[in-house]
Amino acid sequence: MNQQRWNEQMETVVNTHSEAIDELKEFQRHLEGDKGANALMQVHERQMASAGTYINLILVAGYAGFFGLWSTLSPKLPPRLYALCGLLAVLSLVLFIAWEVIKMIWSNIHMSRTSAMIQNMSGPELIQRFIASSQLFQVRSQRVWWLFLVPSVLSGLAAGSLLMWIFCYQLWQAFQ
């Protein structure tokens, strides 16, 4: 009876250890999957940051070029057209700056919350919640970004188009 009981206990211990090993293997598979997902997310975030930087550079160059040209044309443009072009360009610029300020504040709030989460948690749950939090932040910011991007680009393009229309009109009149 003692031998049988000892065998049962040993079988229970071996099975418990086997289950623990299986759980560790599963945990390791999840970590490896998380590493891959994390690497992809980092690449994606870098690409988004690069694209955002490039867009900002193009916009700043566009605003500088527009305002430089617009200011030199003030004596040659009808006052209403000059004012309308300026208003559209300033609207575009204000929307662009507003988005950049909102994005900065929102990002800082997100980073503060993420830092608090990192300090208060550990283990695989932390990684999953961090990734989920970052993805949710990206989705939300992209939705709001469109609300600023579309009117900013449209008003900027309208201002630029008005100036081009004036150039075309003056060129057409020169050949009449």
Q: Which pLDDT score, from 0 to 100, does residue 40 have?
A: 64
The single-letter code of the amino acid at 14 is V
Check pLDDT > 90 for residue 127: no
Look up the pTM and report it. 0.66
Q: Which pLDDT score, from 0 to 100, does residue 156 have?
A: 93
pLDDT above 70 covers a percentage of the chain that reads 89
Q: Which pLDDT score, from 0 to 100, does residue 41 have?
A: 66
Model confidence band, residue 160 (pLDDT cutoffs 50, 70, 90): very high
118 vs 37, 67, 113, 126, 134, CA distance in Å?
18, 45, 9, 7, 13
How far apart are alpha carbons 35 and 44 in whole angstroms? 14
